[in-house]
Amino acid sequence: MPDLTDPTRATNPALKRRLFVGLSAAVATLAGPATALAADALEFGKPHPPIVPEDDPDIAVSRPPLQSSSGRTIESYAAAPKNAPATTPGVVVVMGAFGVDNQLRDTVRRFAKVGYRTIAPNLYSGLDAPSGDNTDNFEPFRPLLGKLADDTVDADLAAGSSYLRAAQGGGARKLGVTGFCMGGSITLRQAVDHPELYQAAAVWYGKVRYGTTGNLGAITPIALAYADEIKTPLLGSWGERDTSILGDDVRALDRRLADLRKPHDLKIYASAGHGFFDDIRSSYDPFAADDAWKRTLAWFDRYLH
């Protein structure tokens, strides 16, 4: 079952709200100089116009229904580069607690803008979920998280990966998976359970302790035993000021993966708390978000091309 941590209350209050204007250098990294110029006036850390709008001429946006092996049809949000060749790699984006909200949809388009076929399955399909757009109210989503069974979530994500492979039309089919908060924990599970689907994984502040409900005390070996089974090259990004996922837990996972000689790159950002990539909410940290985005793109470039 996904972690029930409130993403809006999982950061040390010492991390002050930051609003930044004119982050053109950072935006240039994520989607090219033209987008940087368009984003110069955006104010991050609160709701703002998209970084990559839906009508961007370089991408095509769609909302394909997906037939999951769980026996249900689910909603999704997808974007791809215009006139993408069959060998274009893909990325499955795993939503966080607020669902496929406007920030996650923008992230899907950002991946498309830099050359990936991308899809975000709506794991809340059929659960009558409210919109997560521009809200910090986690309470309506709390009961929904308890309804997300692992096998159903995995089947829904597999439906997204099947869509991307079909869209590619054969040839070299390489897929990455990435997710945020709850989606980060789910992404970590994909790296263990579904190496046949994904050639690279990028976790954003996902839960590290397996089978535990809290984070008191030192992490025990059994809570990291899953690391022995990780077969997918794993990149991860966390915040030191995150009160829901301890930096020491991440460091323990890093040591375990190093001992096992698993391909990995885990980083903890001293300035950041939970949700630091979420640029429409006050948890946003521009330095951590920019660096982690660069690392994610470099990781996918390494393993998906």
Instruction: Quote the pLDDT of residue 173.
Output: 78
Instruction: Quote the pLDDT of residue 258.
Output: 98
Q: Domain for residue 9, yes or no?
A: no
Per the annotation, the verdict on 133 as an active-site residue is no
Contact in structure between 101 and 129 (CB atoms under 8 Å): no
Instruction: Quote the pLDDT of residue 172.
Output: 57
Cα–Cα nearest to 72, from 173, 168, 148: 148
Q: Domain for residue 277, yes or no?
A: yes
Candidate list 3, 154, 249, 274, residue with the active-site label: 274
Single pTM value for the model: 0.89
Q: Domain for residue 1, yes or no?
A: no
Task: Give the tokens for residue 192.
Answer: 């263990």
Instruction: Quote the pLDDT of residue 6.
Output: 65
Q: Domain for residue 8, yes or no?
A: no
DSSP character at residue 153: H
Q: Domain for residue 10, yes or no?
A: no
Q: Give the span between the Cα atoms of 163 and 157, in whole angstroms.
A: 10
Candidate list 181, 249, 254, 279, residue with the active-site label: 181
Lookup result for tokens 């949000």: 77
Cα–Cα nearest to 7, from 182, 220, 153: 182
Task: Give the tokens for residue 301.
Answer: 């470039």
Q: Domain for residue 60, yes or no?
A: yes
Q: What angle do CA 275, 276, 280 make, to 5 degrees?
A: 80
Instruction: Quote the pLDDT of residue 188.
Output: 97
Contact in structure between 94 and 183 (CB atoms under 8 Å): yes
Q: Give the span between the Cα atoms of 254 and 270, in whole angstroms.
A: 16
Candidate list 3, 156, 242, 249, residue with the active-site label: 242
Q: Domain for residue 3, yes or no?
A: no
Q: Which residues of the chain have pLDDT under 50?
A: 1, 13-30, 32-39
Instruction: Quote the pLDDT of residue 167.
Output: 82
Q: Give the span between the Cα atoms of 259 and 274, in whole angstroms.
A: 27
Q: Domain for residue 15, yes or no?
A: no
Task: Give the tokens for residue 40.
Answer: 């110069």
Q: In which domain, by residue range, is 122 found?
A: 20-304
Q: Give the span between the Cα atoms of 47 and 223, in whole angstroms.
A: 37
Kindly calculate the radius of gyration of the chain based on its CA atoms and give it in whole angstroms.
Answer: 18
Q: Give the span between the Cα atoms of 1 and 46, in whole angstroms.
A: 30
Per the annotation, the verdict on 181 as an active-site residue is yes
| Number of domains observed in the structure of the chain | 1
Q: Helix crossing, 24-31 with 102-113: angle to 10°?
A: 60
- Give the CATH number, domain containing residue 137: 3.40.50.1820
Instruction: Quote the pLDDT of residue 91.
Output: 97
Q: Is the dihedral of CA 193, 145, 48, 58 positive or negative?
A: positive
Per the annotation, the verdict on 242 as an active-site residue is yes
Instruction: Quote the pLDDT of residue 4.
Output: 56
